Structure formats: structure tokens, C-alpha cells
Structure 1
Amino acid sequence: MIVTLTLNPSLDRTIEIAALDRGAVIRAAAARLDPGGKGVNVSRALLANAVASRAVVPFGGDEGRQLVHLLRQEGLDMVTVPVAGRTRSNVTLAEPDGTVTKINEPGTALSPGELDTIADSVLAEAREADWVVASGSLPPEVPGDVYARLCRRFAGAGIHVAVDTSGPPLTRALGAGPALIKPNLEELADATGVAITCVGDVVAAAAKLRAAGARTVLASLGADGAVLVEDGGCWYGEAPVAEPRNAVGAGDAMLAGFLAGGGSGETALVEALAWGAAAVSLPGSRMPGPADIRRDAVRVSRPDPGRLLTSPLPRTPVTVRAAATGAAPHPPPSPR
């Protein structure tokens, strides 16, 4: 079983529009509301493919109750932890050419007592688990070393931990020796200081993260595919998508596929790429099921170090984090 933890879950509203015209009144072509948050999405993808998973989900306020309701409607196996704050809401604007603009609320703070309760809930559920996935952004005021502390606690209980986050929470988690990390292209460059223009740069950056403590690095490169670096070897893979619709949640589907495929080696990379590509072709934050996944479209080989990357930085979707209490917004990171 795979246990997921999402410290900053969300309600994700996706609105399909013809074009984003700032300052204009825009009529939506379609809209949908999905449960959100990286760990939540990993569990949703696993559920869609009949892989045992349990999500630990803190929730608060009316939005939190609606999130829990939506997850129960999907049949997600979960442990809910009530908190004092309000669950955040995010908005995604999706254009026909695949361009996505995402506006993320920051979420609300978790108290030390709430963090302890959440960690205890994860540990209780993880005693018979193969993996714990700790992923996503942190709510305001949550210490940047929280994933590192959780990693040490779970690893001390003999549990494999996968970390999927960015910035200081990622770099501080490295010293705790996570079994797996899944950075995207910008996170890889940010964590290592390596300028990344080709596959060889990706491999070199992944090697630096492994030297810093991560055992396995699954680097997602958007339209350029993914690179896997681990003790058993190094692979490059790609899975073309003919008609991309929405990349939101694709990285979470990729991580879910990798773990469902065994969490190591070429077979797991094929699953990761097939699940991620399927998610890109679906509307909203919908997770792919067996009928959506095409493993035959995936190509895996040894990396060609000189192969140039085609994805610009930043890539779409552009994510803007909504400022709290009038504070200046954070600069937009690369998509996940």
C-alpha cells in the first residue's frame, strides 16, 4: 500500500476559455471542480488504477468539508484530520492550445499540535505500507524542515519515503535521505545551481541531488519526458501527447505510476511516463484510468547527454500564488 500526505490540499476549479484576455469579460466554455493537492492527486491516480492507497488529508472550513465530500464521492480511502484553518481554493484557466494559468491560494497555517497529529496519523497508517509520499507546497508558517523531520521519523520506522516538493523544503529534505525525490526541471536547477539545457545537464544535476542524500531521482521534464537516476542505472524516456489539454496534476500522476510500477528501474519509468502523458490529455485535474494509459507510446533509452531540451523556462502552466493579507505575491515557479 502507498500512503500519501498532503499538508496543503485544495479545491481545484478548472475553467476552459477560448483565450486569456486581461481586463476583459471572458465567457467560460466549460468548468469543473476537482479535489486538489499533490498527495491527494497521487492517491486519486492510484485509486483510478486499482492500486491500494490511503491519503492523509488535513481539512478545515466549508472548503475543507467540500473537499472531503468530493473525495468520498470518488471512493478514496483516506484519513481526515480536522484543523482550525480553512482549506485553500485554486483556479486554473485552460486555453485550447494547452496554455494553462494557475492561481494558487497560499493556504492557512498549521499549529505545531496539528502537525504532530498529522504525522502521528501518517505513521499509524504507514506501518504496513510500501511507501509514504510527502508532497506539495507548505502552508504559511509551517517550518521549511517539516519534510526532513517527517522523512527521518518514517525512515526510522523502516518506511520508504518519496518527497515531491520545491525550494527549501526539498533541499532540506535531502539530508534526511529520502528514498525518492521527483523534481521538475526548474526545481532541479534551483536545488543544484546547475544551468540545465540538455539531458546531460539533467543527469549531472540528479547526481548532485543523490550525493546530497536522495537515493533515487525521477526528474520530470515536461514535454521532454523524464530522466531516472538510481543505483541500478540511468534512463531517459519520453511519451508524446498529441493533444495536450491540462498539465495540472500530470506530475502527480507520473509519481503514482512510478510507484505503482515498483518504484525502481525501467519498468517503473515506463509506467510513470504513460500515466503522466495520459493525465496531460485529460480535462481539469482528472486522473487517468486504465483506458487512458498507453504504454506502447513510451520510449525509454539510455540518456544521450548532448540532447537539447525543448521546454523553455518557465513552461506553461504559469502558476501565480495568491498573496495573503495584501503581501506581495511569490514569483511564479515552473509547473508541476
Structure 2
Amino acid sequence: MKIITLTLNPAFDVHCMMNRLELYKENYGTQLTRQAAGKGINLSRALVSYGVENTAITVVGTENGEEFLKDLEEAGISYLSVEAQGRIRENLTVHSPDTPETRISFEGFQTDDGILHQMKNLMPCDADTIVTFTGRIPMGISKQGVISFLKEIKETGAKLVIDCNSFTMDELLSLQPMMIKPNQQEISQLVGKELEPEQAFELAKQICEKGIDHVLISFGGKGMVYSGIWGQYRILVPEEEIVSTVGAGDSTVAGFLAGLVSEFPPCDVLRLSAAFGSAACLTPGTNPPVKTEIDNMFTKIRCNY
């Protein structure tokens, strides 16, 4: 089974580490890192860290795309790219021990629906392919254009995995992806009310009955809820000291795919998914989860039918 990750909205993730953050004062950083990112790229990084082959297809800006692609090469990520005029955006995250993460996001290049046709021409899709679409739709590209693009991919027989908060529930159901993975905030927005894990089971079951094979809803430290063709599961994760939550959701999707293509039993696929996401919280910045941490976390995660 081939895995292709799509990134329409790439970014450079810039992480500033500080001993203390004080508002309205001059602050001093202790470390600064800069990495090629975007949700699809984060997913590819996590898969590569676990030895799972995949290809990242991404848009890059003409002004700083060379730096971005060089970083992918150094990370061992196989990629194909198309160019858009302008710069790849930057996300700045400030980390200090005594305050929550603070993120500042900048806008990058603008493009149009034509870039979707260029990406489609790069994609060797068939029934043996899983294609992930993650992250928000960037400025300049229409939602209807993306929906048509994804339907064209489905027509090749490829299986879609979607983790994107740009779609309504009706739009997701029209795409009939193999899997969706909203988090607590996203699923609550989709249904218009705050949901806890116990309430999410019935909703996930209803979504599955409308044609989506796997519905995985993440609740951070409360674990995950799964409903799908394997039944219903509650996945419980251990309490750990969080270093950074950046990329944890992407890693959760990566873990699910890693288990799926490795033909793990259903419960182990879900445990591996949670292990990827939990291990990602133990690494700084956009760094992917470490394999030894994933394997260690896997032994601690419970999956209840």
C-alpha cells in the first residue's frame, strides 16, 4: 500500500525556546529552530521516523522553496513539488516553562485552483494508494475546487484520509473518505456543541453508518474514541509531561496509517496511532516522534472494546 501526503499550505515552523516569558518586557531566547512543516509534511516526518515509506506532494513558494525542499531531503522525506509565486508562510511558536505555548502565524503565498491540476498530474494513484489531505485550505484556492480535486483522486480507486477543519460534515460525507480524525474542538464545531469522549461514541457511530469506514476523534490527554468497521473502541493514554503539542494530531494520523499498512490487528492500529500522538508530545518543536518513545508508549496504552 502506497501512502501519499498532500500539503497545500506548507510552512516554516520557527520555535523559540525561553526560560521565562514576560509580557511588555524585552525577553531573551535560549534556542531557535526552523523546520519545513505543514500538516502533510509533519505526517510524512512521523512516518519516516518509524520507517514507513511515503511520498510528500507539496506546494512551495518561489522565494524560499529551495530552503524548504532542502530540509525535506535532509529529513529523508521523498517528495514531489509544484511552485507558487511568493513565499512559504512562517509559524512562530514561543515556548517557556511557566506559560502555555504562544503561536503567531503569518500568511504566505496566494495561489489558485490551477495548482490542484498540477498536483493531480504528479500523483500516481490507484486502488493500492492512500492519500492524506490535512490542514486548512490556503487563500486563493476554492473549497469547491478542493472537493472536486479530492473526488477525482477517489475515482482512481485511491483511499482518502482527511484531517481538515475547512469542511462541513455534509461536505465530508460527500467525499466518503476512508478515515477522518477530528479533535475535540473540531468535532464540537462540526455538530455545534461541546462533546466529551462518552458523548462522541454515538456521533462517531452515526458518521460511520453514513459511509466513512474509520472515525477517530482525539481528546488530548483524555485519549481517543474510535467508531468504524472494526466496532467501537475507547483508547486511553498515560499522563506524560508535555514538551510540545505541535504535530501531535498529524502524528496520530501517521500512527494509524503505519499500523494499517503493517496489517496490525484493529486494536493495535489504534494503540499505535495513540502512541505516535503521545510520543510526538515528548519532542520539541516540529520534530517527529522518536521510534523508541513510540514503542515504549505503545506498551502503556489501553484499548477497550
Regarding TM over 0.5, the answer is yes
The match for 2:249 is 251
Which whole-Å CA distance do the structure 1 matches of 2:142 and 2:169 have between them?
Answer: 12
Q: In the TM superposition, what is the alpha-carbon distance from 1:251 to its structure 2 partner?
A: 0.7
Which whole-Å CA distance do the structure 1 matches of 2:173 and 2:146 have between them?
Answer: 9
Aligned in 2, Cα 1:86/1:209: closer, same or farther, shift over 3 Å? farther
1:288 paired with 2:289, answer yes
Q: Do the aligned partners of 2:128 and 2:158 also contact (CA within 8 Å) in 1?
A: yes
The match for 1:261 is 259
Higher strand share: 2
The match for 1:166 is 165
Aligned in 2, Cα 1:91/1:109: closer, same or farther, shift over 3 Å? same
Q: Deviations over 1:279-330 (max 9, x none)?
A: 001111100132221211111113xxxxxxxxxxxxxxxxxxxxxxxxxxxx
| RMSD (Å) for aligned C-alpha atoms | 2.0
Q: Which moved more, 1:146-155 or 1:52-61?
A: 146-155
Which runs of 5 or more structure 1 residues have no equivalent in the other structure? 303-336
Q: Which moved more, 1:272-281 or 1:93-102?
A: 93-102
Which runs of 5 or more structure 2 residues have no equivalent in the other structure? none
The match for 1:222 is 220
The match for 2:122 is 121
The match for 1:179 is 178
Which whole-Å CA distance do the structure 1 matches of 2:170 and 2:109 have between them?
Answer: 23
Q: Deviations over 1:74-93 (max 9, x none)?
A: 12100011122321111111
What TM-score do the two structures reach when normalised by structure 1? 0.83
Q: Do the aligned partners of 1:17 and 1:29 also contact (CA within 8 Å) in 2?
A: yes
The match for 1:205 is 203
**Of 296, 299, 303, the match for 1:300:** 303
Q: Which letter maps to 2:45? A: R
Q: Which moved more, 1:54-63 or 1:201-210?
A: 201-210
Q: In the TM superposition, what is the alpha-carbon distance from 1:229 to its structure 2 partner?
A: 1.0
Mapping 1:1-336, distance limit 5 Å? 1-96=2-97, 99-122=100-123, 124=124, 126-127=125-126, 129-168=128-167, 172-196=171-195, 198-211=196-209, 213-262=211-260, 265-293=266-294, 294=296, 295-302=298-305
- Alignment identity in percent? 27
What TM-score do the two structures reach when normalised by structure 2? 0.91
List, as ranges, runs of 4+ consecutive aligned residues in structure 1 with deviation greater than 6 Å: none
Q: Which moved more, 1:68-77 or 1:12-21?
A: 12-21
Q: In the TM superposition, what is the alpha-carbon distance from 1:65 to its structure 2 partner?
A: 1.9
What SS is found at the alignment partner of 1:190? helix
Which whole-Å CA distance do the structure 1 matches of 2:245 and 2:215 have between them?
Answer: 21
Q: Which moved more, 1:260-269 or 1:86-95?
A: 260-269
Q: Which letter maps to 1:221? A: F
Aligned in 2, Cα 1:71/1:95: closer, same or farther, shift over 3 Å? same
Which whole-Å CA distance do the structure 2 matches of 1:297 and 1:255 have between them?
Answer: 19
Which whole-Å CA distance do the structure 1 matches of 2:209 and 2:191 have between them?
Answer: 11
Aligned in 2, Cα 1:16/1:171: closer, same or farther, shift over 3 Å? farther
What SS is found at the alignment partner of 1:262? helix
Q: Which letter maps to 1:247? A: T
What SS is found at the alignment partner of 1:40? helix
